[in-house]
Amino acid sequence: MTKALLLLLTSLICLTCFAQQNANTENLIYKVLDDNGNKLLKGSKAYSVSIGIVKDGKTYTKHFGEIEIGTGKKATNETLFEIASVTKVFTGLLMAKAVLEKKINLEDDIRKYITGSYPNLEFAGNPIRIKDMVSFKTGLDRDLPDNIELRKNENDSTAFYCKKLDESYSKMQFFQDLKTVKLDTLPGTVYTYSNLSLQLSAHILENVYHKSYEILLKENILSKAGMTSTQLNIPENEKIANGYNGNHILMPHFSNNLWGSQGLLKSTLNDLTKFLLFELDKKNRFVQESQRNVLNSNQNWYGYFWDGIEVVDNGKFCHKHGGAYGTQTMFVVYPELNLGISIIVNISAPNTYDFLFNTVLEIAEDLKPESKTDKKLYGYKLSNDKVVFTYTYPMKLDASLIKKVSIAGSFNNWNPQDNDFQMVSKGHHIFELEFPKTKFEKGKTYVFKFVINTVGWTTTPKNALNVQDGEDRNLTFKIE
């Protein structure tokens, strides 16, 4: 056999193996989509579920249920949904860009960039800084317009009253009311979710760039990501998908006369998967800044308007939830895994968030290679007279993000801050902690989990043998 022929045969074999590997990956991902999509549809009681997965640069989507009741018609990749507070991630990106371009400074008093005088926007002489605002730690006591009274006794009509309030509220009223808000704590110390922070951010962006918030979105994110269907204000001939509350009553869509920077974007699953790709771009310095640990926290952090960024067993985990009156969206990226997940359901009930969040965790776990291996004991071993707990962080992930690993379980009131249960680093991504068997009651089954940086609760591997029944899939051990 000639050298050229041998090289050709080798190349053909490699291409065949590569094609087979790709086919296996696609089959796995579509199975994961089917399993989790159908489970979410049933559990959440939504009429429609849409899921998009981006893995290693490739996009996979699937739709379940029906988008219009009684028609059997499914949503498509081009169905337009309200994505609500996922809009905040877009605003955060624009703020990150402004910081890197030195239009604003994270340490600056926000009043430096706000039109007008606001002596009330400080607490005991301490002003709100830009970094307090983007991390939801302003200390502001309310949102604008203030709908607290409307939401005190929520019912099926509350959304309609809130919509009416938003429709009658102007930017002029916003700046008048801004003079009356107060800080109830020192800025930078307490997390308080605040739509007011987003409205102020849009105003600041407009002041430093001398362009409207809407144009800044289009020029810097939507056009660059190729998101042709995402917009703040849609033409009258375009239809937004219907959504329902927990009682399955048709809900109104958001209205806003302010900037819309807190939650007015409408998008499609096709565009959201493009945004996942955008957020997974490790070379995009604005994206990297927006996901940075701005406050240098040892636990979780918020980056720029994320709900949270934690270190978990799948690496850095950035998540944002958007809740409209009748739809909810979960938008998640695992940058180190090159994995992004976006889910939209056309129901907005008190327990919808939990279903969405748990589905994301399940999808990420299902995509792990070890989920298909033989079952085995996980997380501990018995050695002579000792119980040795062991946690191994995946080698391909950045262990420098880990400040500590602890054990929380039925034996310490599920307290990840318990000093007696802080694990010791053994190097090579391995953490251990040992106790004498006498510390635990003989014959009793204990349940536990590992926790990274106090807040990153790890998921139990699919191949773990010692698992408690139930949704939480806690690990178990027993001293015989």
Per-block average pLDDT, block size 10, for the chain (480 residues)?
58 50 76 96 96 97 91 93 98 98 98 97 96 95 91 92 95 96 94 95 98 98 97 88 95 95 98 98 98 93 96 96 98 97 97 97 87 81 93 94 96 96 95 95 95 95 91 91
Distance from C-alpha of 207 to C-alpha of 229, rounded to nearest angstrom: 27
Mapped onto helix, strand or coil, the DSSP state of residue 33 is helix
What is the token pair recorded at 227? 């998101």
CA distance 138 to 244: 33
CA distances from 297 to 189, 271, 293 (A): 11, 32, 7
Distance CA 431, CA 389 (A): 8
Distance in angstroms (rounded) separating the CA atoms of residues 474 and 472: 6
Q: Are strands 48-55 and 58-65 parallel, antiparallel or unpaired?
A: antiparallel
| DSSP-derived pairing of the beta strands 244-245 and 347-348 | parallel
Chain centre to alpha carbon of residue 142 = 24
Bridge partner list, 54? 59, 340
Both tokens of residue 273?
Answer: 């998967």
Q: Give 438: exposed, middle or buried? Use CB within 10 Å, 0-12, 13-18, 19+.
A: exposed
What's the pLDDT score for residue 19?
46
**Confidence (pLDDT) at 317:** 97
CB 278 within 8 A of CB 270: no
pLDDT given at position 17:
47
DSSP state of 185: S
Mention every residue, 6+ apart, whose C-beta is less than 8 A from residue 107.
129, 130, 131
Helix axes 352-366, 3-44, angle to 10 degrees: 160
User: Contact, 475 vs 468, CB < 8 A?
Assistant: yes
Instruction: Quote the tokens at residue 118.
Output: 């606001």
Question: Three-state secondary structure along 325-367?
Answer: CCCEEEEEEEHHHCEEEEEEECEECCCHHHHHHHHHHHHHHHC
- What 8-state DSSP symbol labels residue 112? G
Q: Are 61 and 32 in contact, with CB atoms under 8 Å apart?
A: no
Give me 329's structure tokens: 């969206």
8 Å CB contact between 330 and 357: yes
Cβ neighbours, 10 Å, residue 170: 11
Position 341, amino acid: I
Per the omega criterion (within 30 degrees of 0), is the bond before 350 cis? no
| Lookup result for tokens 């190097």 | 427
Pairing of strands 315-323, 308-312: antiparallel
Contact between 53 and 341 under an 8 Å Cβ cutoff? The reply is: yes
Going by C-alpha positions, the residue among 387, 437, 428, 383 that lies closest to residue 407 is 387
